[in-house]
Structures are given as structure tokens and as C-alpha cells.
Structure 1
Amino acid sequence: MPLERRPDRKIGIKDVSREAGVALSTVSHVLNGTAPISQEVRVRVLEAARKLGYLAKRQRKGAIASLSTLYLAVPPGNLPHNDINLVSWTLLTALSRECERRGIRIVAHSGAPQLNATEILAGARAAEAEAIAVVFDDNPKLLKGLAGSDIAVVLLNGEDPTMSIDTVAPANRYGARLATEWLLANGHRRILHLTWRGRSTIMRRLDGFHDAYLQRDLSTDLGEVLCAKGYEPEHAREALRAFVAERGGLDGFTAVFCAADNLAIGALTELQALGFRIPADIAVVGFDGVAPGDLTQPSLTTVRVPLDALAAATIQALEQRLSGAGRDQPAARIELGCRLIERESGGSSIVG
């Protein structure tokens, strides 16, 4: 028999269990997001908790997993699973696993090649999604259009300079500084930063490269930035081939810090094709940590981005935003630390 809510009686998890007709453990898993639960059961438990007033009680404390459907918007170019989309694919897989673990349904956005705020909001409402996750696209017009919505939004792996929506990203600037400081500590002074004109996240890696020189009171002129046409390995090969031809060699550079593992793989290939020994003649360091770095010859030193943790932090940010206490809070910018993985291509200290 359904339980009638009385104002003089405290409602607890046992009451929700009886109302929904499920075990206590099932209610706990639904409310805390600690195990995969079917969509039908999850909705039933949340409806029972809402009816009894228990949902509002937990939401006021910011302690409930109320996200059941997530609308996922990703630029089409980031979706294919191939050797140059490893970061995208790995991050999206991690997000999918995290949602599966928590029993959250994902509805993927399908629309124009360029993400559009109006289309995304319409799709999210049609899917009855409580939240939207935008991945890789920090176009200001898109973010502005989403910021005014009554649906919770988080940007994963991007930046919002206006701080209008929550963002979750790796600490790109500090990760790049970490790698550059490691090279400087090992005796390198002339370091080439191989990058491309990418989004703001890539620009933060350039900032970190310069930060490391400034931290040691070294002139940033000792380092140099080499821009490739894009982030694919072949783009790195073309850029380095032209650089070596123009300078007649390495021009005193003893290390290359690449803004992505894709570029680092291309750098390894091209430098060796040109007759340089790695790391004896020049060290190579990447950034991302998803490429098969231990399968390259030599194995790739890189900055590892915590992709699984980024996925978990994205869901946590949305849960917090959906809680009663979180709806009126200012936008949060969440950055997770990266770790340097030392392998053969980075060498150790330079000789002489």
C-alpha cells in the first residue's frame, strides 16, 4: 500500500523503498549513482522520492544523483575512431562508461556539422534530458546561446572566458609547464615547441611553455614556437622537414616539446628519417598520453591527461548543478592535474 506523507513524520530511505517497490540497496544506488540501474527503475525510485518529499530534502543538501538522461553534443569531426582521433575517442568512451556505471542514459546530438545552441537545446528537451554536455567546442556564440538555458550545461575539454557555464578540462597550462621544466632541469635550454593554431586549450599549452622559462629567469627567446598546419603526424613531419631545411640542421635545439602526441609521433618519424638520433641528438616530448607511446621507437615521453577522471568530474559537476543548492551557484572552472610519463624519447640529462 502506498505510503501517505504526514507532516509530523520524517521520511527516510525505507519509505522510498516501500513506495517504489524496490530493495533498499537499489534506492541507495539510484540516489548516490553508485551502480548501473535500469532507466525504468531509476525513474520509479526518483518519482517515489519526489512524491514523498525525500527528493527535495536530499537536493537541499546537495546529496543526490538526480541526472538520468544526458544530452551529448560533439562536433562531428571528433567522432570517428581512428589513429588521429585517439584523444576524442578515449574521452568519449570514458564518459560513456561513467554514465553506464551510474545508470545515466546518453542521447547523442545529431544536427548540422557546426554545433548550434538552438538545435542542441531543442534536442535536449525532446529527449527530456536534465543536462547537456558539450565536448571540444568552445565557440563563444555556442556557449552564449547555451548559458541562458534552464538546462544544466557543462563544457568538457574547453574554456569559457565569460565563466557563464561550468567547464571541466585538464590543466593544460600547468601540464605544459611541467614538461618544459623537466626538460630545462635536464639541461636543455634551446627547446622547440611544436604546436598548431588550435582552440584555447592548445594556446594554454603554449602559455605553459613560456611560463617554465620565466620561472627559471631564462629568456623566452631561448625557446621557439614552430606552428604546423594541424595536429596530424604528417603535419609535424612537414613542419620539421621545412625547419631543418631552412636552418641547415637543428640550429642548436636539443629538445622538441609537442603540443599533442600526434605531433610527437610525426616528429619522431621525421627526425629519424632525417638522420637524427633520439634522444642523443634531440629529445622529443608529447602531450595527451593516449597514443601508444610505449610502442614507438624510442618509446614516447609524454604528459598524461587524466581522461577517465575528466569524465567523472563532468558528471559530478552536472549533479552538483542539478542539486537544489547548486542551481544558483556561480559557474565553476574545474581543472585536473596532468602527470609526466618519462620514457626513452625524452632522455635524461644532456651530455656536455
Structure 2
Amino acid sequence: MAKTTKGPGSKPRVGLKDIAQSANVSISTVSHVINRTAPISEDVRERVMQAARETGYLGLRREREARGGIRKVLLASSAYGLAENDNNLFLWSILSALRARCEQIGVKLLPHSPPGDHLSAEGIIRAANDERADGVLLIHDDRRELLALLSERREELPPVVLINGEDPDMGIDTVSPQNRFAAFKATRWLTEIGHRNILHVTWHGRTTISRRRDGFLDGMAEIGVRPENAPIFAFSGPDAWRAQPFLSDKLIEQVRSENITAIFCGADDVALRVHRSLHKAGYKVPEDISLMGFDNIVHAEMSSPPLASVAVPVGHIGPVALKLLEERLSESFGPSAPARRVELACTLIKRASVAPLR
């Protein structure tokens, strides 16, 4: 039976031992058949090849051969960025799926997490060259100045792909969820079931979060609410809620003063904190106010009531980034081709935390 590799989006990981067990032959026989290093009877050879096909080994082997140019990939993220997201299951789910995929196709991930708040272009270039990396995956740090420097100095680097972020100048390839349109769909659902006074809870920071706010504004504009009049509660950063408890009181004050009937948060972990604030203030979800988040982390489904959300294909973001690196190294695409922005479709998850307006 094929071995399994844990992680979102992972596929069975198989080896010669699995094929040998399935075909009822020795591992050495499998090796000889696969590599054509010794004469084997036609019956045994066909049995081994059939087992190799059924276990998925042949498909994975072809993928590894196609990725002949990628053996080592630098994974760049600031140490502070990773620590800041210690409780962010969304980010760690992306990394887990990426690691599983790399293990599956024989690519070695080389972590680059220098101390401090941010990465530097110089540090990434030095690390990539010291490690002789075939590509760079950049995660969490999508500052425009960093991306511009990496684009300007591309000749000193292997291909670079930004994971879960955007490059407004389109200097490097990027992979992210369809944040704006998915947030628009979520907001439209709330308006379709009668809500008009919808509050968006967000924070100042990364481009991906800004795109979710833009999608909310698009949805509100559809019912005639101008951007400057759309209710928004924004705080300074993802950790501000824990560090500044008074934000909870300010949120409740806005909910009451603007007669809010639904709250759409830029992330599930924020929505769960908002839920606690609402409960403390005497509001019931969804009887008094509807609540939904974004990302569809496991905590969302397990909350009470289960939190409506937007499911992001976290198991595909890393593998798609690897594919972009691979294509940058291929003759058919090449390093001089225009940068690409890949957006992956998200799914609206309707749960009991949202109810039609009474």
C-alpha cells in the first residue's frame, strides 16, 4: 500500500518498496524493470509496470524528470514574519502543503529566515547564491520596495515567486487567492439575504488584506453604498487586537451607533475574536448579528455556531508557485518573459453564523 504524506493537498508518496509489495516481487527486481538494468521476463515486467502505474509511481517519476532543473529552492521569510503568524493556521497550511509537495518530487527546501522585521534583497541574493538555489519562494513579505529591488537585480538571482502576495509593478511572478472577487462574492451573499448595514473588520498591512477590503467595497457599491460611506473598522496590524483590548469596546460602539446587522472580517482568526467581543457585549450570533470570516481555517468550522467563511485553496498555492519556478527555467518560457500573476479560485462556505435579516 502506498505511503501517505501528511499535509493539505498532498498525494500518496510511493517508492520501489510499495511497487514490490503490490507486484509480489523483490525490490531489486522492481529496480531492474524501472531502470532497465537487467533482463526480466515479460510477465514479471508487465506486472511491475502495472503496479507502478496503479500506485502513481510512474506519474511522479515523470514529474521529477520534468523538474530536472529544480533541486533546491530557497524559502525566504523574515523570522518576525513567521513568529507573528504563529497562530495563523492559514499560513502554516500553505507551508505544510508546500513542504509535502517538495518531498514528493524530490525538491529540497532551504529556509532563509534572518532575524528582524523584514527581509533584504541583498540577504536573499547572497543566500540564494551561497546555497546555489535553483529558485526562490518569497512568503509573507510583499513590500513594494523589496519586490522592486529583486526585480531590478534579477540577473543576480534564480527565478523568484512571491507566495500569497501581489507585486503592483509586476516585476516578479506571484501566486495568491482571488482575494478581491472572493470578498465581493461574500459581501454579495450578505446583501442578497437582506443585510445592508454590513461592517468590514480589517487591518492595515499586506496587499492581500487590502484586496479583501476592496472586494467588500465592490459588494457595497453594488447596492449603492459609496466607498467613503461603507462601514469599516480597521486596526493597525494582526496582533493589535490582542495588544490593545480597548479595540473591542470601540468595535461594539461602532456596531451600536451604525445599527450593524452583519460583520464580514478579513480573516477567520479576527472573526473569532470579534465573536468573543460580541458575546461579551450581549449579542448573539446569528440571532442579533451575522458574522463571517475569510480563509476557512479549521477553527471556523469548529466554532459555535460554525463560522461562515471563504475557503482558500491552501493546498495548491505552494505547488503552483513551484510550477512557475519550473517554467521560468524552461526553454519554452524563460527568464525574460513577462511576469505572471496567478490567482486561485476561492469558495464561499455558508454556515450557521450567518442568517437572513429579519
- Give me the whole-angstrom Cα distance separating, in 1, the residues matched to 2:167 and 2:255: 42
The corresponding residue for 1:37 is: none
- Give me the whole-angstrom Cα distance separating, in 1, the residues matched to 2:256 and 2:305: 21
Unaligned 5+ segments in structure 1 are 1-15, 34-45, 47-62
How is 1:133-152 mapped onto 2 (pairs within 5 angstroms)? 133-147=137-151, 148-150=153-155, 151-152=158-159
Task: Provide closer, same or farther for how the CA distance between residues 179 and 320 of structure 1 changes in structure 2, counting only shifts above 3 A.
Answer: same
Query: 337, 340, 349: which one pairs with 1:332?
Result: 340
Equivalent position amino acid for 2:272 in 1: I
The corresponding residue for 1:322 is: 329
- Give me the whole-angstrom Cα distance separating, in 2, the residues matched to 1:183 and 1:27: 47
The corresponding residue for 1:66 is: 69
CA offset digits 1:40-61 (Å, max 9, x no partner): xxxxxx7xxxxxxxxxxxxxxx
- Give me the whole-angstrom Cα distance separating, in 1, the residues matched to 2:85 and 2:161: 26
The corresponding residue for 1:308 is: 315
What displacement does 1:234 show? 3.4
The corresponding residue for 1:292 is: 299
The corresponding residue for 1:32 is: 63
Equivalent position amino acid for 1:86 in 2: L
How is 1:60-209 mapped onto 2 (pairs within 5 angstroms)? 64-80=67-83, 84-113=87-116, 114-147=118-151, 148-150=153-155, 151-209=158-216
What displacement does 1:242 show? 1.5
What displacement does 1:75 show? 1.9
Count, aligned residues: 303
What displacement does 1:300 show? 0.6
8 Å Cα contact 1:189/1:222 also seen in 2:
no
Equivalent position amino acid for 2:350 in 1: E
What displacement does 1:79 show? 2.5
The corresponding residue for 2:232 is: 225
Unaligned 5+ segments in structure 2 are 1-33, 38-47
Task: Provide closer, same or farther for how the CA distance between residues 220 and 248 of structure 1 changes in structure 2, counting only shifts above 3 A.
Answer: closer
Query: Taking structure 2 as the reference length, what is the TM-score of the superposition?
Result: 0.77
Secondary structure of residue in 2 paired with 1:79: helix
What displacement does 1:323 show? 0.7
Equivalent position amino acid for 1:241 in 2: D
* Percent identical: 34
What displacement does 1:119 show? 1.2
- Give me the whole-angstrom Cα distance separating, in 1, the residues matched to 2:133 and 2:146: 19
What displacement does 1:214 show? 2.1
Secondary structure of residue in 2 paired with 1:287: coil
Deviates more, 1:71-80 or 1:128-137: 71-80
- Give me the whole-angstrom Cα distance separating, in 1, the residues matched to 2:150 and 2:58: 32
8 Å Cα contact 2:78/2:115 also seen in 1:
no
- Give me the whole-angstrom Cα distance separating, in 2, the residues matched to 1:313 and 1:329: 18
Q: Does 1:212 align with 2:215?
A: no
What displacement does 1:159 show? 0.9
- Give me the whole-angstrom Cα distance separating, in 2, the residues matched to 1:195 and 1:81: 17
Query: Taking structure 1 as the reference length, what is the TM-score of the superposition?
Result: 0.79
8 Å Cα contact 1:31/1:66 also seen in 2:
no
- Give me the whole-angstrom Cα distance separating, in 1, the residues matched to 2:255 and 2:137: 48
Equivalent position amino acid for 1:229 in 2: S
Equivalent position amino acid for 2:354 in 1: G
The corresponding residue for 1:281 is: 288
